[in-house]
Structure 1
Amino acid sequence: MADEDRRVLIVGGGPVGLLCAWLLGRQGIPVRLFDLNDAPQADPRAATTHPATLDLLADDGLADDMARVGLVAPIFQFWDRPSGQKMAEFDHAILKNDTAHPFVVQCEQFKTAKLLLERAQKLPNVDILFGHEVTGVSHGANRVTLDVQGPNGQQSHAGAYVIGADGGRSVVRKQADIPFDGFTWPERFIVLTTPFDFQASSGYSFRSYFADPDEWCNCFKVSADGPPGLWRTVYPASPDLSEEELMSDAAVQARMQKFFPSSRPYEIVHRNLYVTHQRVAEMFRKGRVLLAGDSAHINNPIGGMGLNGGIQDAANLAEKLSKVLLDAAPEALLDLYSRQRRVVATEFVQEQSIANKKRLEASDEETRRRNLGELREMAADPVRARQFLLRTSMIASQQRVAAMTLEEV
């Protein structure tokens, strides 16, 4: 069998695409990955890696390496900003019988990508081609062909399947004409990053969520380049204000001081403003086109479920695609992949991330009291706390996937 009859083409060199490349390549499957950037992007994006995801990444010491270059965070907290009270604290240690990793690892996305790239590049059957932009995708009954613009001009690459792991604006998804339904939040999200130590000053855990009727906040720590690390704060931003108005030094300091009053100005090492969507592809498989990660589903970042969902997509897809290519398993396995992961995206990731946002932004005082009271009661009840953590840690969604069978497709 010629290489191109088994080769898997991957578009996107982030953690999802690189994980697919590594997992498939380890099985001896020829893989060719394309990314339009010249190297993995080091922008500060997603960092939270949940227990269910760490369990999938334990092989070859990958989860351990992520913990080494990141931060282990077993605890997260909910705070009421108007009163300054800590309303609830949850410790993943309660999941010690449910997972080999009863904690979260705060490992920035680019660090995870780097660890995966190092592993994938050691495999002789895996080609990683940065600086290559996929401009066209065509797929028939027996193969898929990509038009790729690279340093040597326009070229065509053929393979058995293509995996689109190329983000929310996925060329692969668009070329395959797969609808991407959902909505866009009216407010934008602003991220301000500082070396200020919120744990030392205020006792905040490495993952803290602040409910406020006017302006909620997420505050979490990453290791960055090493001690002392950095703290990222995330807020909603009015759609009525311009980027210049929101991102000026004066506006940034005013926002930080309003939320976290300090006698000194904050050192801000990074600031970003972005639009947030909640969308899920109509299908994650169309013939020989497969979608994973942000190309298949995008959501707001509260709770850190987007990247985790993408990594779980990659592990699920690589396992099934390997069986199809190496063991002559029925292609219906790929339909099962599509069904399983779409259920997770809609019933867990979308639902949970929207609920997380609504919990923090509730403005009605009665609703606020009820939300915070429920969190306090759950945290105080080990049974309810475990059930809550099974869902937030994405263990429950993996259990849901495991219960779905080929007969359901």
Structure 2
Amino acid sequence: MSDNNRVLISGGGPVGLYAALALARSGVPVTVLERFDALQDDPRAATTHSATLELLGALGLEEEIRAAGLVAETFQFWDRVSGEMIAEYDHALIADETKYPYVVQCEQFKTSKIILKHLQDEPNAEVLFSHELLSFEASDTEVVAEVRTPSGYQTFKGRYLIGADGARSAVRKGAGIEFAGFTWEEQFLVLSTPFDFQASRGYAYRSYFADPGEWCNCFKVAADGPPGLWRTVFPTLAEHTEAELMSDEAVQARLQRFFPKEGDYEIVHRNLYRVHQRVAKTFRLGRVLLAGDASHVNNPIGGMGLNGGIQDAANLAEKLARVWHGESDALLDLYDLQRRTLSTEFVQAQSIQNKKRLEAKDEATRQANFAEMRRMAADPVAAKAHVLRSSMIEANRKIAQLYLS
């Protein structure tokens, strides 16, 4: 493709597709390069917070995403040891702050399909599947990418390149940008079952269980329709092999140990994955930009990874469109400042704190955590502030006030 009058986007997940749709609707030609031959049915991320729903609503997508998912109006914290619900928070507390005072549990592949459907209606946008970006060279005027396609290797040119190609980003690696941080020692085990935890135990669609030995997240997704699926997320010991952790016997034992019931659980999905806490040293290097997991990754407690990625895409698309239409490209440095600040000072800090709160072993620390959660839940002002933080509204408002000096 010899014409460089476009933005190249590597990665056809929800982050890359959102950026493409927002840019296309702002009059910026885009080409999305996706290495797989179709959208991937990745079941991991599902929680869509109010701050993200506002951005999806701005592109006319929120109603469809809500229809494809489940609305979660509350979330709960439980003590597994005592079986006591410690606190419940209601998003109705922020109804005066947002049009979307709820969370939508919509699997990220459904979000991707909805965005793609709209993107395909944009005449200045194209999505090319089975197109894998292998390498690129960036100059002061353009980016030239070498791409593996079904018909062989081809060269694509663009005025800018966005890396929305995941934690192993070829764009980030090709730009030589450090991905600073660490990897948790334990792996996370995800088990999905149609067992109805709400009907049988009274759990909200988003419930968190603290335990000094084995915490758990338990949340519901729509899946292919009623009755939906409940996903449980557990930490695992590093010394256990994947075969040991994923066997039928081990899976049943884990669920029964945590949520005992008569008979076996029906398991429809199981997954084991490494968890990282990392942030790229910069989200912008000249004409190369990073968004989503290519720029930051974190543990899933609190559901801020995918949300942060879509928020990246919206922030970047707004600024890049302004640059495209003649404003200073210093706006792209502002993108880096705002989004990297949110990633480091909020998402990383909050997701690590969430994990520590659930896994605390010292009984005095556990009880202090519980007392603080009870206090916040009982105080409408404190509870509202907590929901504004957890919904990511507060953090996004704060970074919007950041400007380059």
TM-score normalised according to structure 1 size? 0.98
CA distance change for structure 1 residues 3 and 121 in 2, over 3 Å: closer, same or farther? farther
Contact 1:6 1:325 (C-alpha < 8 Å) held by counterparts: no
Contact 1:292 1:314 (C-alpha < 8 Å) held by counterparts: yes
The alpha-carbon deviation at position 6 of structure 1 amounts to: 3.2
Contact 2:10 2:32 (C-alpha < 8 Å) held by counterparts: yes
**Is the counterpart of residue 365 in structure 1 residue 363 in structure 2?**
yes
Describe how 1:370-389 pairs up with structure 2 within 5 A. 370-389=368-387
Residue type matched to 1:366 in 2? A
Question: Which SS does the other structure have where 1:57 is aligned?
Answer: helix
Residue type matched to 1:141 in 2? D
Q: Distance in 1 between matches of 2:33 and 2:3?
A: 15
Partner of 2:398: 400
Residue type matched to 1:181 in 2? A
Describe how 1:189-228 pairs up with structure 2 within 5 A. 189-228=188-227
The alpha-carbon deviation at position 212 of structure 1 amounts to: 0.3
Contact 1:305 1:349 (C-alpha < 8 Å) held by counterparts: yes
Aligned residue pairs, count: 405
**Is the counterpart of residue 261 in structure 1 residue 276 in structure 2?**
no
Gap regions ≥5 residues in structure 1: none
Q: Distance in 2 between matches of 1:4 and 1:344?
A: 35
TM-score normalised according to structure 2 size? 0.99
Describe how 1:164-313 pairs up with structure 2 within 5 A. 164-313=163-312
CA distance change for structure 1 residues 316 and 3 in 2, over 3 Å: closer, same or farther? farther
Residue type matched to 2:387 in 1? L
**Is the counterpart of residue 18 in structure 1 residue 7 in structure 2?**
no
Q: Distance in 1 between matches of 2:393 and 2:159?
A: 32
1:275-331 Cα offsets, whole Å, 9 max, x none, are 0000000000000000000000000000000000000000000000000001x1000
CA distance change for structure 1 residues 314 and 60 in 2, over 3 Å: closer, same or farther? closer
Gap regions ≥5 residues in structure 2: none
1:333-375 Cα offsets, whole Å, 9 max, x none, are 0000000000000011000000000000000000000011111
Question: Which SS does the other structure have where 1:6 is aligned?
Answer: coil
Partner of 1:143: 142
Partner of 2:334: 336
The alpha-carbon deviation at position 29 of structure 1 amounts to: 1.4
The alpha-carbon deviation at position 382 of structure 1 amounts to: 0.6
After superposition, the CA RMSD in angstroms is: 1.0
Residue type matched to 1:138 in 2? E
Runs of at least 4 residues off by over 2 Å = 2-6
Contact 1:4 1:160 (C-alpha < 8 Å) held by counterparts: no
Q: Distance in 1 between matches of 2:13 and 2:4?
A: 25
Residue type matched to 1:261 in 2? P
The alpha-carbon deviation at position 43 of structure 1 amounts to: 2.1
Contact 2:23 2:321 (C-alpha < 8 Å) held by counterparts: yes
Contact 1:144 1:160 (C-alpha < 8 Å) held by counterparts: yes
Q: Distance in 2 between matches of 1:237 and 1:61?
A: 40
Contact 2:2 2:157 (C-alpha < 8 Å) held by counterparts: no
The alpha-carbon deviation at position 60 of structure 1 amounts to: 4.4
Identity score, percent = 60
Q: Distance in 1 between matches of 2:286 and 2:169?
A: 17
CA distance change for structure 1 residues 168 and 60 in 2, over 3 Å: closer, same or farther? closer
**Is the counterpart of residue 59 in structure 1 residue 58 in structure 2?**
yes
Question: Which SS does the other structure have where 2:244 is aligned?
Answer: helix
Residue type matched to 1:395 in 2? I
Q: Distance in 1 between matches of 2:222 and 2:126?
A: 31
Partner of 1:77: 76
The alpha-carbon deviation at position 5 of structure 1 amounts to: 4.2
Describe how 1:66-105 pairs up with structure 2 within 5 A. 66-105=65-104
Residue type matched to 1:392 in 2? S
Contact 2:33 2:132 (C-alpha < 8 Å) held by counterparts: yes
